[in-house]
Amino acid sequence: MRIFDYVALKNQKWDSETVAYIAAIHEAKGKQDVYAGQKPQELEKLVEVAKIQSTETSNEIEGIRTTNTRLKQLLSDKTMPRTRDEEEIAGYRDVLNVIHENYEYIPVTANYILQLHKILYSHSGKSIGGKFKNVQNYINAIGDDGREYTVFTPLAPYETPIAVDSICEQFDLAIAAGDVDPLILIPIFIHDFLCIHPFSDGNGRMSRLLTALLLYRSGYSVGKYVSLEAKIAKNKELYYDALSAAQIGWHDGKDDPTPFIKYLLGTIISAYRDFEDRMEIIAQKLPAIDAVRKAVQSSVGKITKTRIHELCPSLSASSVEVAIKKLVANGELTKHGAGRSTFYIRKN
């Protein structure tokens, strides 16, 4: 049985890159706290955009999808799920809302994790919600030859409840002791959670929801305003590579979680930088065309309507569309592709 001891991490030495990430996040958090006091209404607009992105992309990572129209209807709670995918999207929406509104009152315990998992499947006909796995699960991948193979074997079902209790207890002890930075403890907790793989289904989505919960409880709320799930989805292969590298030797306690720690910290600091970019545009209260122009000028490579709307959350979708058409017409942007594959390139 794997033994967990997070308090002992106080004796662990971390490399300069990890330390630099932590320092950068601390600094960025300070800036965000200032914005939160000065621009509360603008922040609420960012929250709504981030909720949509988080729900959409976290489910897309697992192959769960619906149309953009249906997604917005589900997130506004103006419709009932029509498909199995929509049932799971609605469940994710509900858990995310619970975390956003109640994170201060959700302690890190196995019982609360089970309750959140139950909400995740509350719209589904599946009976697995709120229950630990009862059969062995495996983390598989497809090789270059097209054959499926096992990448990692999680803990057995009989070991799972004890292990989840243990990581929760260890996390609380280490947080209370205050000798290990939460930005180290959170990735390690999530890494161990994924290695335990406590549920028959929903482990990946629960890991991302728990990441948000633990960050919020530790005062790092950037995920409310910039979707961490969207960033993970954009670099999905890097996420899986980091997780795979960190899993080596895990069962024997000989694993090195550093690759996953660096990956998650890099994702967090990237979100903080996006947050600053968006607040800079919002704070200037520019006309729509100028706000979109500024968003375009701050972007590199392919530019999508979704990306521009992220940077200009105070603008409606139609305002963004009109501004983009004007920039194309006057030669500042060139349009490529069609439909959902449309993107734009900035002209020098």
- Residue ranges of domains in the chain, CATH in brackets: 7-281 (1.10.3290.10), 288-346 (1.10.10.10)
- State the pLDDT at residue 122: 96
Task: Please calculate the CA angle 121-117-5 and round it to the nearest 5 degrees.
Answer: 160
**Residue 128 burial by CB count (10 A; 0-12/13-18/19+): exposed, middle or buried?**
middle
**Interhelix angle 258-284/236-247, nearest 10 degrees:** 150
Our measurement of the distance from residue 316's CA atom to the centroid of its chain's CA atoms, rounded to an integer in Å, reads 24
- State the pLDDT at residue 306: 79
CA distance 197 to 146: 25
- State the pLDDT at residue 37: 73
| Residue pair 268/222 in contact by the 8 Å Cβ criterion | yes
| Residue pair 251/11 in contact by the 8 Å Cβ criterion | no
- State the pLDDT at residue 5: 96
- State the pLDDT at residue 339: 79
| Residue pair 291/312 in contact by the 8 Å Cβ criterion | yes
Tens of pLDDT along the chain (348 residues)? 799 999 999 999 999 999 999 999 999 999 888 877 777 777 887 888 899 899 999 999 999 999 888 988 898 888 899 999 999 999 999 999 999 999 999 999 999 999 999 999 999 988 999 999 999 999 988 888 888 899 999 999 999 999 999 999 999 999 999 999 999 999 999 999 999 999 999 999 999 999 999 999 999 999 999 999 999 998 899 999 999 999 999 999 999 999 999 999 999 999 999 898 888 777 777 788 888 888 888 777 888 887 887 778 777 778 888 889 888 888 888 889 887 788 889 887
- State the pLDDT at residue 135: 96
SS3 of the chain:
CCCCCCHHHHHCCCCHHHHHHHHHHHHHHHHHHHHHHHCHHHHHHHHHHHHHHHHHHHHHHCCCCCCHHHHHHHHCCCCCCCCHHHHHHHHHHHHHHHHHHHHHHCCCCHHHHHHHHHHHCCCCCCCCCCCCCCCCCCEEEECCCCCEEEEECCCCHHHHHHHHHHHHHHHHHHHHHCCCCHHHHHHHHHHHHHHHCCCCCCHHHHHHHHHHHHHHHCCCCHHHCCCHHHHHHHCHHHHHHHHHHHHCCHHHCCCCCHHHHHHHHHHHHHHHHHHHHHHHHHHHCCCHHHHHHHHHHCCCCCECHHHHHHHCCCCCHHHHHHHHHHHHHCCCEEEECCHHHCEEEECC
